[in-house]
Amino acid sequence: MPSGPLAVRFLVVTAVVARDLRRSFRTTQGRLKRTRQDVEAVRGVSFTIEPGETFGLLGPNGAGKTTTIKMLITLLLPTSGSASVLGHDVVTDVREVRRRIGYVFGGDRGLYDRLSGLDNLRYFAELYGVDPREQRQRIGTLLELVGMTGREGERVEGYSRGMRQRLHIARGLLHDPEVVFLDEPSIGIDPVGARELRATIASLKDQGKTVLLTTHYMFEADELCDRIAVIRAGEIVAEGTPDQLKRGVPSGRVLEVETYGVPEAVVAGMSELSAVRSVGVEDRGQLQVLVLQCDADSEVTQQVLARLGDVRVGRVAAREPTLEDAYVQLVTG
Protein backbone atom coordinates (compact mmCIF):
# COMPACT_ATOMS: atom_id res chain seq x y z
CA MET A 1 0.00 0.00 0.00
CA PRO A 2 1.34 3.51 -0.75
CA SER A 3 2.28 5.57 2.25
CA GLY A 4 0.58 8.89 3.05
CA PRO A 5 2.72 11.22 0.92
CA LEU A 6 2.48 8.85 -2.04
CA ALA A 7 -1.31 8.76 -1.71
CA VAL A 8 -1.40 12.56 -1.69
CA ARG A 9 0.79 12.65 -4.78
CA PHE A 10 -1.62 10.24 -6.49
CA LEU A 11 -4.54 12.56 -5.76
CA VAL A 12 -2.70 15.57 -7.13
CA VAL A 13 -1.84 14.00 -10.48
CA THR A 14 -5.20 12.35 -11.10
CA ALA A 15 -7.28 14.66 -13.29
CA VAL A 16 -10.73 13.71 -12.02
CA VAL A 17 -11.69 11.62 -9.00
CA ALA A 18 -15.29 10.76 -8.13
CA ARG A 19 -15.86 8.76 -4.95
CA ASP A 20 -19.30 7.35 -4.18
CA LEU A 21 -21.02 10.45 -5.58
CA ARG A 22 -24.72 10.66 -4.84
CA ARG A 23 -27.29 13.26 -5.72
CA SER A 24 -30.98 13.37 -4.84
CA PHE A 25 -33.65 15.75 -6.09
CA ARG A 26 -36.84 16.57 -4.28
CA THR A 27 -39.96 16.65 -6.43
CA THR A 28 -43.45 17.74 -5.39
CA GLN A 29 -46.78 16.65 -6.76
CA GLY A 30 -50.33 17.87 -6.32
CA ARG A 31 -51.70 21.36 -5.69
CA LEU A 32 -53.79 21.22 -2.54
CA LYS A 33 -52.26 18.16 -0.97
CA ARG A 34 -48.62 18.39 -1.91
CA THR A 35 -46.59 15.22 -1.64
CA ARG A 36 -42.84 15.32 -1.71
CA GLN A 37 -40.63 12.63 -3.10
CA ASP A 38 -36.87 12.26 -3.16
CA VAL A 39 -35.51 10.96 -6.45
CA GLU A 40 -31.96 9.63 -6.40
CA ALA A 41 -30.47 10.60 -9.77
CA VAL A 42 -26.91 9.48 -9.03
CA ARG A 43 -26.35 6.56 -6.69
CA GLY A 44 -22.77 6.06 -5.67
CA VAL A 45 -20.77 6.82 -8.80
CA SER A 46 -17.01 6.32 -8.55
CA PHE A 47 -14.33 6.62 -11.22
CA THR A 48 -11.00 8.26 -11.90
CA ILE A 49 -9.65 9.92 -15.03
CA GLU A 50 -5.94 10.21 -15.60
CA PRO A 51 -4.36 13.33 -17.15
CA GLY A 52 -4.51 13.32 -20.94
CA GLU A 53 -7.15 10.61 -20.97
CA THR A 54 -10.44 10.83 -22.90
CA PHE A 55 -13.07 9.22 -20.72
CA GLY A 56 -16.58 8.44 -21.96
CA LEU A 57 -19.65 8.38 -19.77
CA LEU A 58 -22.40 6.55 -21.62
CA GLY A 59 -25.94 5.89 -20.58
CA PRO A 60 -29.56 6.33 -21.60
CA ASN A 61 -31.49 9.57 -21.03
CA GLY A 62 -32.04 10.15 -17.32
CA ALA A 63 -29.25 7.77 -16.29
CA GLY A 64 -27.40 10.50 -14.39
CA LYS A 65 -24.67 11.56 -16.84
CA THR A 66 -25.39 15.28 -16.81
CA THR A 67 -26.02 15.31 -13.06
CA THR A 68 -22.62 13.68 -12.53
CA ILE A 69 -20.94 16.23 -14.79
CA LYS A 70 -22.68 19.14 -13.07
CA MET A 71 -21.38 17.96 -9.71
CA LEU A 72 -17.86 17.74 -11.12
CA ILE A 73 -18.01 21.25 -12.60
CA THR A 74 -19.34 22.74 -9.33
CA LEU A 75 -22.84 23.62 -10.56
CA LEU A 76 -24.49 21.08 -8.26
CA LEU A 77 -23.56 20.07 -4.74
CA PRO A 78 -23.41 16.32 -4.18
CA THR A 79 -25.83 14.93 -1.61
CA SER A 80 -22.97 12.73 -0.40
CA GLY A 81 -19.65 11.41 -1.61
CA SER A 82 -16.71 13.47 -2.81
CA ALA A 83 -15.07 14.56 -6.02
CA SER A 84 -11.99 16.48 -7.02
CA VAL A 85 -10.55 17.93 -10.20
CA LEU A 86 -6.75 18.10 -10.38
CA GLY A 87 -6.68 17.66 -6.62
CA HIS A 88 -9.17 20.47 -5.88
CA ASP A 89 -12.36 19.54 -4.08
CA VAL A 90 -15.47 20.45 -6.10
CA VAL A 91 -17.37 21.55 -2.99
CA THR A 92 -14.79 23.43 -0.94
CA ASP A 93 -12.31 24.62 -3.58
CA VAL A 94 -14.76 25.89 -6.17
CA ARG A 95 -12.75 28.81 -7.58
CA GLU A 96 -9.65 26.68 -8.25
CA VAL A 97 -11.73 23.98 -9.96
CA ARG A 98 -13.46 26.56 -12.18
CA ARG A 99 -10.15 28.04 -13.27
CA ARG A 100 -8.99 24.67 -14.55
CA ILE A 101 -12.05 23.29 -16.31
CA GLY A 102 -13.96 23.96 -19.50
CA TYR A 103 -17.59 22.99 -19.93
CA VAL A 104 -19.35 22.50 -23.23
CA PHE A 105 -22.85 21.20 -23.66
CA GLY A 106 -24.82 20.30 -26.76
CA GLY A 107 -27.81 22.01 -28.32
CA ASP A 108 -28.72 25.54 -29.28
CA ARG A 109 -28.47 27.15 -25.86
CA GLY A 110 -25.61 28.73 -23.92
CA LEU A 111 -24.77 31.66 -26.19
CA TYR A 112 -25.92 35.26 -26.52
CA ASP A 113 -27.83 35.21 -29.78
CA ARG A 114 -27.85 38.97 -30.18
CA LEU A 115 -24.09 39.24 -30.00
CA SER A 116 -21.61 38.17 -32.65
CA GLY A 117 -19.54 35.05 -32.19
CA LEU A 118 -16.52 37.28 -31.49
CA ASP A 119 -18.37 39.30 -28.84
CA ASN A 120 -19.51 36.07 -27.17
CA LEU A 121 -15.92 34.92 -26.97
CA ARG A 122 -14.72 38.32 -25.69
CA TYR A 123 -17.40 38.31 -23.00
CA PHE A 124 -16.54 34.86 -21.71
CA ALA A 125 -12.80 35.50 -22.06
CA GLU A 126 -13.20 38.33 -19.52
CA LEU A 127 -15.27 36.19 -17.17
CA TYR A 128 -12.82 33.29 -17.41
CA GLY A 129 -9.88 35.54 -16.65
CA VAL A 130 -8.00 35.32 -19.95
CA ASP A 131 -5.11 37.78 -19.86
CA PRO A 132 -6.17 40.85 -21.91
CA ARG A 133 -2.80 40.87 -23.67
CA GLU A 134 -3.39 37.31 -24.89
CA GLN A 135 -7.11 37.49 -25.65
CA ARG A 136 -6.93 38.54 -29.28
CA GLN A 137 -4.42 35.87 -30.19
CA ARG A 138 -6.18 33.19 -28.15
CA ILE A 139 -9.56 33.92 -29.74
CA GLY A 140 -7.96 33.90 -33.20
CA THR A 141 -6.32 30.53 -32.55
CA LEU A 142 -9.57 29.01 -31.29
CA LEU A 143 -11.60 30.35 -34.21
CA GLU A 144 -9.04 28.70 -36.47
CA LEU A 145 -9.25 25.45 -34.47
CA VAL A 146 -13.03 25.21 -34.78
CA GLY A 147 -13.06 26.41 -38.39
CA MET A 148 -14.93 29.65 -37.86
CA THR A 149 -12.41 32.20 -39.00
CA GLY A 150 -14.19 34.80 -41.13
CA ARG A 151 -17.65 34.16 -39.59
CA GLU A 152 -16.90 35.52 -36.12
CA GLY A 153 -18.35 38.98 -36.86
CA GLU A 154 -21.86 37.63 -37.59
CA ARG A 155 -24.57 37.50 -34.96
CA VAL A 156 -25.01 34.09 -33.35
CA GLU A 157 -28.75 34.10 -34.11
CA GLY A 158 -27.84 33.50 -37.76
CA TYR A 159 -25.53 30.55 -37.05
CA SER A 160 -26.40 26.94 -37.89
CA ARG A 161 -26.48 24.44 -35.05
CA GLY A 162 -23.09 23.08 -36.11
CA MET A 163 -21.56 26.57 -35.99
CA ARG A 164 -23.06 27.21 -32.58
CA GLN A 165 -21.61 23.96 -31.34
CA ARG A 166 -18.18 24.83 -32.63
CA LEU A 167 -18.43 28.24 -31.02
CA HIS A 168 -19.33 26.47 -27.77
CA ILE A 169 -16.15 24.44 -28.01
CA ALA A 170 -14.12 27.58 -28.61
CA ARG A 171 -15.79 29.21 -25.60
CA GLY A 172 -15.03 26.20 -23.42
CA LEU A 173 -11.34 26.33 -24.37
CA LEU A 174 -10.83 30.10 -24.01
CA HIS A 175 -8.92 29.90 -20.74
CA ASP A 176 -6.91 26.88 -21.90
CA PRO A 177 -8.42 24.51 -19.31
CA GLU A 178 -6.62 21.34 -18.36
CA VAL A 179 -9.82 19.32 -18.07
CA VAL A 180 -12.70 19.66 -20.55
CA PHE A 181 -16.20 18.36 -19.90
CA LEU A 182 -18.20 17.73 -23.07
CA ASP A 183 -21.85 16.89 -22.42
CA GLU A 184 -23.37 15.46 -25.60
CA PRO A 185 -21.56 17.97 -27.82
CA SER A 186 -22.60 16.34 -31.10
CA ILE A 187 -26.33 16.18 -30.41
CA GLY A 188 -28.38 17.31 -33.38
CA ILE A 189 -25.42 18.00 -35.66
CA ASP A 190 -25.38 16.75 -39.26
CA PRO A 191 -22.89 13.97 -40.16
CA VAL A 192 -20.33 16.32 -41.72
CA GLY A 193 -20.48 18.67 -38.73
CA ALA A 194 -20.26 15.73 -36.33
CA ARG A 195 -17.18 14.44 -38.13
CA GLU A 196 -15.50 17.85 -37.86
CA LEU A 197 -16.45 17.99 -34.20
CA ARG A 198 -14.89 14.58 -33.59
CA ALA A 199 -11.71 15.80 -35.23
CA THR A 200 -11.73 18.82 -32.92
CA ILE A 201 -12.23 16.62 -29.85
CA ALA A 202 -9.45 14.33 -31.04
CA SER A 203 -7.16 17.36 -31.34
CA LEU A 204 -7.82 18.15 -27.67
CA LYS A 205 -6.30 14.83 -26.81
CA ASP A 206 -3.29 15.68 -28.97
CA GLN A 207 -2.91 18.87 -26.92
CA GLY A 208 -2.77 16.79 -23.74
CA LYS A 209 -6.19 17.82 -22.43
CA THR A 210 -8.15 15.52 -20.18
CA VAL A 211 -11.64 15.05 -21.60
CA LEU A 212 -14.82 13.71 -20.08
CA LEU A 213 -17.29 13.06 -22.89
CA THR A 214 -20.91 11.99 -22.74
CA THR A 215 -22.59 10.91 -25.96
CA HIS A 216 -25.35 8.71 -27.30
CA TYR A 217 -23.33 7.85 -30.39
CA MET A 218 -21.40 4.64 -29.77
CA PHE A 219 -19.09 4.97 -32.76
CA GLU A 220 -18.10 8.40 -31.45
CA ALA A 221 -17.25 6.97 -28.05
CA ASP A 222 -15.45 4.02 -29.64
CA GLU A 223 -13.37 6.34 -31.82
CA LEU A 224 -12.49 8.95 -29.20
CA CYS A 225 -12.46 7.38 -25.74
CA ASP A 226 -9.57 5.63 -24.05
CA ARG A 227 -11.92 4.32 -21.36
CA ILE A 228 -15.66 4.24 -20.97
CA ALA A 229 -18.04 3.92 -18.03
CA VAL A 230 -21.63 2.89 -18.66
CA ILE A 231 -24.12 4.41 -16.25
CA ARG A 232 -27.62 3.04 -15.74
CA ALA A 233 -30.20 4.37 -13.30
CA GLY A 234 -27.55 6.40 -11.49
CA GLU A 235 -25.05 3.58 -11.08
CA ILE A 236 -22.00 2.60 -13.08
CA VAL A 237 -22.62 -0.88 -14.44
CA ALA A 238 -19.42 -1.34 -16.45
CA GLU A 239 -16.10 0.37 -16.95
CA GLY A 240 -13.15 -0.37 -19.22
CA THR A 241 -11.61 0.28 -22.60
CA PRO A 242 -13.95 0.01 -25.61
CA ASP A 243 -12.38 -3.37 -26.45
CA GLN A 244 -12.84 -4.64 -22.90
CA LEU A 245 -16.51 -3.68 -22.99
CA LYS A 246 -16.98 -5.38 -26.36
CA ARG A 247 -15.34 -8.52 -25.04
CA GLY A 248 -17.71 -8.37 -22.09
CA VAL A 249 -20.67 -9.12 -24.36
CA PRO A 250 -21.71 -12.66 -23.30
CA SER A 251 -22.32 -13.72 -26.87
CA GLY A 252 -19.20 -13.73 -28.97
CA ARG A 253 -20.74 -13.22 -32.40
CA VAL A 254 -23.59 -11.34 -34.01
CA LEU A 255 -25.59 -12.66 -36.97
CA GLU A 256 -27.66 -10.18 -38.95
CA VAL A 257 -30.31 -11.45 -41.38
CA GLU A 258 -32.35 -9.15 -43.60
CA THR A 259 -35.92 -10.40 -44.00
CA TYR A 260 -39.15 -9.17 -45.60
CA GLY A 261 -42.30 -9.75 -43.54
CA VAL A 262 -40.98 -12.18 -40.94
CA PRO A 263 -43.80 -13.38 -38.60
CA GLU A 264 -43.38 -12.77 -34.86
CA ALA A 265 -43.76 -16.47 -34.11
CA VAL A 266 -40.76 -17.25 -36.31
CA VAL A 267 -38.69 -14.60 -34.50
CA ALA A 268 -39.68 -16.06 -31.13
CA GLY A 269 -38.72 -19.52 -32.37
CA MET A 270 -35.16 -18.39 -33.07
CA SER A 271 -34.41 -18.04 -29.38
CA GLU A 272 -34.98 -21.80 -29.02
CA LEU A 273 -31.76 -22.45 -30.91
CA SER A 274 -29.16 -23.53 -28.39
CA ALA A 275 -26.34 -21.24 -29.63
CA VAL A 276 -28.56 -18.13 -29.76
CA ARG A 277 -28.46 -15.92 -26.65
CA SER A 278 -30.90 -13.25 -27.75
CA VAL A 279 -32.88 -12.12 -30.77
CA GLY A 280 -33.78 -8.60 -31.76
CA VAL A 281 -35.60 -7.13 -34.74
CA GLU A 282 -34.75 -3.76 -36.29
CA ASP A 283 -37.30 -2.31 -38.70
CA ARG A 284 -35.66 -0.54 -41.64
CA GLY A 285 -38.47 0.50 -43.97
CA GLN A 286 -39.79 -2.66 -45.66
CA LEU A 287 -36.94 -4.67 -44.18
CA GLN A 288 -36.80 -6.37 -40.82
CA VAL A 289 -33.25 -7.12 -39.72
CA LEU A 290 -32.94 -10.01 -37.28
CA VAL A 291 -30.02 -9.41 -34.90
CA LEU A 292 -29.01 -12.66 -33.21
CA GLN A 293 -26.45 -12.64 -30.41
CA CYS A 294 -24.76 -16.04 -30.68
CA ASP A 295 -22.11 -18.04 -28.86
CA ALA A 296 -18.56 -17.53 -30.06
CA ASP A 297 -17.46 -20.03 -32.73
CA SER A 298 -21.03 -21.24 -33.21
CA GLU A 299 -22.45 -21.82 -36.69
CA VAL A 300 -26.17 -21.16 -36.69
CA THR A 301 -26.70 -19.62 -40.12
CA GLN A 302 -28.15 -22.75 -41.72
CA GLN A 303 -30.41 -23.41 -38.71
CA VAL A 304 -31.69 -19.82 -38.80
CA LEU A 305 -32.38 -19.93 -42.55
CA ALA A 306 -34.17 -23.25 -42.11
CA ARG A 307 -36.42 -21.74 -39.44
CA LEU A 308 -37.23 -18.79 -41.71
CA GLY A 309 -38.68 -21.26 -44.24
CA ASP A 310 -40.58 -19.36 -46.96
CA VAL A 311 -39.79 -15.90 -45.58
CA ARG A 312 -37.97 -13.83 -48.19
CA VAL A 313 -34.36 -13.29 -47.07
CA GLY A 314 -31.91 -10.60 -48.17
CA ARG A 315 -28.35 -10.15 -46.98
CA VAL A 316 -26.94 -12.42 -44.28
CA ALA A 317 -23.85 -11.31 -42.40
CA ALA A 318 -21.92 -12.30 -39.32
CA ARG A 319 -19.84 -9.74 -37.42
CA GLU A 320 -18.00 -9.18 -34.19
CA PRO A 321 -19.93 -7.43 -31.38
CA THR A 322 -19.73 -3.63 -31.49
CA LEU A 323 -19.65 -1.19 -28.61
CA GLU A 324 -23.32 -0.60 -29.30
CA ASP A 325 -24.07 -4.31 -28.75
CA ALA A 326 -22.19 -4.13 -25.45
CA TYR A 327 -23.99 -0.93 -24.49
CA VAL A 328 -27.45 -2.27 -25.31
CA GLN A 329 -26.78 -5.38 -23.24
CA LEU A 330 -25.50 -3.34 -20.33
CA VAL A 331 -28.33 -0.82 -20.18
CA THR A 332 -31.11 -3.29 -20.82
CA GLY A 333 -29.67 -6.17 -18.82
Decide: is 60 part of the binding site for another protein (CB under 8 A): no
Please report how close the Cβ of residue 103 comes to another protein at its closest, in angstroms: 6
Task: State which of residues 4, 5, 30, 132 lies at the interface with another protein (CB under 8 A).
Answer: 132
Please report how close the Cβ of residue 112 comes to another protein at its closest, in angstroms: 6
Looking from the CA of 25 toward its CB, the CA atoms found within 13 Å total 11
Which H/E stretch holds residue 32? none
Q: For the chain, what percentages of helix, strand and coil (3-state, to nearest 5) are there?
A: 35, 30, 35
3-state secondary structure of 205: helix
Segment contacting another protein by CB under 8 A, of 117-125, 217-225, 235-243, 251-259: 117-125
Which H/E stretch holds residue 103? strand 101-105
Site for another protein in 160-179 (CB under 8 A): 171
Decide: is 159 part of the binding site for another protein (CB under 8 A): no
Q: Which is nearer to another protein, 107 or 280 (CB)?
A: 107
Residue 198 · residue 220 · CB < 8 Å:
yes
Instruction: Give the integer Cα–Cα distance in Å for 97 and 248.
Output: 35
> What residues does 287 pair with on adjacent strands?
284
Decide: is 136 part of the binding site for another protein (CB under 8 A): no
Segment contacting another protein by CB under 8 A, of 124-132, 143-151, 188-196, 237-245: 124-132
3-state secondary structure of 313: strand
Task: State which of residues 31, 34, 36, 109 lies at the interface with another protein (CB under 8 A).
Answer: 109
If we measure between CA atoms, which residue out of 20, 232, 248 comes closest to residue 240? Answer: 248
Decide: is 98 part of the binding site for another protein (CB under 8 A): yes
Task: State which of residues 20, 40, 93, 119 lies at the interface with another protein (CB under 8 A).
Answer: 119
If we measure between CA atoms, which residue out of 228, 271, 186, 232 comes closest to residue 65? Answer: 232
Decide: is 123 part of the binding site for another protein (CB under 8 A): yes
Contact residues toward another protein (CB under 8 A) are 25, 73-77, 95, 98-99, 103, 105, 107, 109-115, 119, 122-124, 126-129, 131-132, 171
